[in-house]
Structure 1
Amino acid sequence: MPSLTSLVGAATTAFSAALLVAPGVLIGPARLADTADTRALVRALGARDAVSGLALALAPPGRPRRLATTARALCDWTDAVVFPPALSGRGTGGLVAASAWAWGALALGALVLDERAGR
């Protein structure tokens, strides 16, 4: 069975790849203006998250996995702090923040469970 951490990394990578191919996946629900600049920004976020998701999915146990998980969680939690003020007035900032905090916590929780189970 794959580690929980690698499953979280695979899910992150899959969603991030969707952002690269179809940035509207995030633009619509976040109620952002669908412009070329917004699509470029969402694709950049997708690229960042795809790379960190792959690192999380492929990192071997021990220090490499802990570093990949920390990087992934910090990316999510930075998004949770930075994006809500930019989304003020759209009614989506709270949802974006909650989602980002949750994904970071999920990655760390998966790591803790994997390490306790010796995976």
Structure 2
Amino acid sequence: MKVGLLRAVGVATAAYGVAVAAVPDLLARPSGLVDEEGRTEWAARTSLRPLGWRDAVSGLALAVAPDGPALRTAAYVRIAADFGDAVLLGATLPGRDRKLAAVAVSVGWGALSVAGLFADGRRREVRCLRAAGPLRG
């Protein structure tokens, strides 16, 4: 597990989530959830704020969970949220380009968490020990 990568994804996700909860236009505009004049309607803002909080809380969990089972669980939650976003937004957003962009962004963030979760963060230590030669006691 690459703890540093998971922590970085968590911090970035938490910051973005807080921003979206405060200013839903940050997600509404690129997603095409605005009217002809570029304004986000009240119902869309109301619906997007909980997504922002979900990202804020799951990102915070990823950023601060103790290494081990808690961090793995936080990573799985983040991965499920990102891949779930890819499926749902890809199926429901207006316009092909917006759908593709939302899928790409969601899968990209999910892939970062997958990489952090399944990468072997101990390889460097093993190489260093091998380079040092046999241990003598």
The answer to whether the superposition gives a TM-score over 0.5 is yes
Residue 84 of structure 1: how far off its partner (Å) = 1.6
Displacement, 1:57? 0.4
C-alpha separation in 2, matches of 1:86 and 1:70: 24
What does the per-residue CA deviation read over 1:31-59, in whole Å, with 9 as the maximum and x for residues that have no partner? 11211110011111001111100110011
Q: Which residue of 1 aligns with 2:121?
A: 116
TM-superposed CA distance for 1:90, in Å, is 5.9
Q: How does 1:1-119 map to 2 (within 5 A)?
A: 3-33=4-34, 34-89=40-95, 91-113=97-119, 115-117=120-122
Q: Which runs of 5+ in 1 are unaligned?
A: none
Shift in Å, 1:112: 3.0
Compute the displacement of 1:73 (Å): 0.4
Amino acid aligned to 2:105: S
Q: Is the 8 A contact 1:31 1:90 kept in 2?
A: no
Aligned residues: 116
Asked whether the 8 Å contact 2:21–2:53 carries over to 1, the reply is: yes
RMSD: 1.7
Which of the two has higher C-alpha Rg?
A: 2
TM-score normalised to the size of structure 1?
0.89
